[in-house]
């Protein structure tokens, strides 16, 4: 998979793409990262990529030309990629979207600054508009890092244990169950006995129940409209009685 990023501040990505799982993923050939300063594509001698908005108003607007020319250069004769615009007005980013992006061969992430983008970028260049949350950042770089990380870890062979991605919070539609490791007792706090029992069927059921409980307590919105089994419905009734 190829992930290209268009940014005015490419140095921000050096440590992110050069560390930990993302570094190993690129070294293994699962993904290739490229960060491009789209100022290099500006069609003027001062490499200016923004201008005043037509009609007046505060702030500067990013010009369409550098984005279009940069994407044309990155794509050339290749298959059309997903071109993702990072902006507060976009669709809220979710694990489902990460899974969707991970099936693509090529992603191009556009990072903006200033007041916004020329609308022609939205209308004629991008395939997706994405927001990582209901707040405003100084630019799209942090959002691009989030997308690159969340997508890369889903690629085959990137995680040491393939089940890790499958059982993550949100991948199953509910939050992940609690985890414990050695020692079995620490400062008087004990690991639940069932996890030490070696009875895998009972352990799986306990984890499922705890996942549902954690979701019910912390993110009940995830359960709205979700088809629940009879056992899951009984568990929720039990959680409610104990509240």
| Domains in the chain: ranges and CATH | 2-152 (3.40.1280.10), 167-242 (1.10.1270.20)
- What's the chain's Rg over C-alpha atoms? 23
Q: Is 72 helix (H, G, I), strand (E, B) or coil?
A: helix
| Residue 162 banded pLDDT, cuts 50, 70, 90 | low
Please count the CA atoms within 13 angstroms of the CA of 150 that sit on its side-chain side: 20
Confidence of residue 161 (pLDDT cuts 50, 70, 90): low
DSSP state of 155: S
Q: Mind spelling out the 3-state secondary structure of 169-210?
A: CCCCCCCCCCCCCCCCEECCEECCHHHHCCCHHHHHHHHHHH
Q: Give per-residue pLDDT as tens, 49-85.
A: 999 999 998 889 999 999 999 999 999 877 889 999 9
3-class state of residue 124 by DSSP: helix
With a CB cutoff of 8 Å and minimum separation 6, the contacts of 15 are none
Residues carrying an active site annotation? 88, 115, 153, 168
Please tell me the predicted confidence (pLDDT) of residue 160: 76
pLDDT at residue 138 above 80?
yes
Supply 180's token pair.
Answer: 């414990």
Tell me what percent of the residues of the chain surpass a pLDDT of 90: 88
Residue 72: the pLDDT is 96
pLDDT band at 131 (very low <50, low <70, confident <90, very high): very high
- Mean pLDDT score, 209-228: 95
Per-residue pLDDT for 228 more than 80?
Answer: yes
Greater model confidence, 112 or 167 = 112
**Residue 48 contacts by C-beta under 8 Å, 6 or more apart in sequence?**
42, 63
For the whole model, what pTM was predicted? Answer: 0.87
Q: What pLDDT score was predicted for residue 113? A: 85
Positive/negative CA dihedral, 142, 148, 154, 157: negative
Q: How confident is the model at residue 242 (pLDDT cuts 50, 70, 90)?
A: confident
């Amino acid at each position: 998979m190829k992930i290209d990023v268009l940014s005015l501040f490419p140095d921000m990505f050096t440590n992110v793409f050069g560390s930990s799982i993302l570094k190993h993923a690129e070294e293994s050939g699962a993904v290739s990262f490229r960060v491009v300063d789209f100022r290099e594509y500006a069609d003027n001698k001062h490499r200016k990529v923004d201008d005043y908005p037509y009609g007046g108003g505060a702030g500067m607007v990013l010009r369409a030309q550098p984005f279009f020319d940069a994407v044309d250069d990155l794509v050339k004769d290749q298959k059309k990629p997903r071109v993702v615009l990072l902006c507060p007005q976009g669709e809220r980013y979710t694990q489902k979207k990460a899974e969707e992006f991970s099936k693509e061969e090529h992603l191009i992430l556009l990072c903006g600054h200033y007041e916004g983008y020329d609308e022609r970028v939205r209308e004629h260049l991008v395939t997706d508009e994405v927001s990582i949350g209901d707040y405003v950042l100084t630019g799209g770089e942090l959002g691009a890092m989030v997308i690159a990380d969340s997508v890369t870890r889903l690629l085959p062979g990137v995680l040491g244990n393939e089940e890790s991605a499958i059982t993550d919070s949100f991948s199953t539609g509910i939050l992940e169950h609690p985890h414990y490791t050695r020692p079995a007792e620490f400062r008087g706090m004990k690991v639940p006995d069932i996890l030490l029992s070696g009875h895998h069927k009972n352990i799986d059921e306990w984890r499922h129940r705890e996942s549902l409980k954690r979701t019910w307590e912390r993110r009940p919105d995830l359960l709205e409209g979700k088809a629940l089994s009879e056992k899951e419905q009984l568990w929720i009734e039990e959680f409610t009685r104990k509240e």
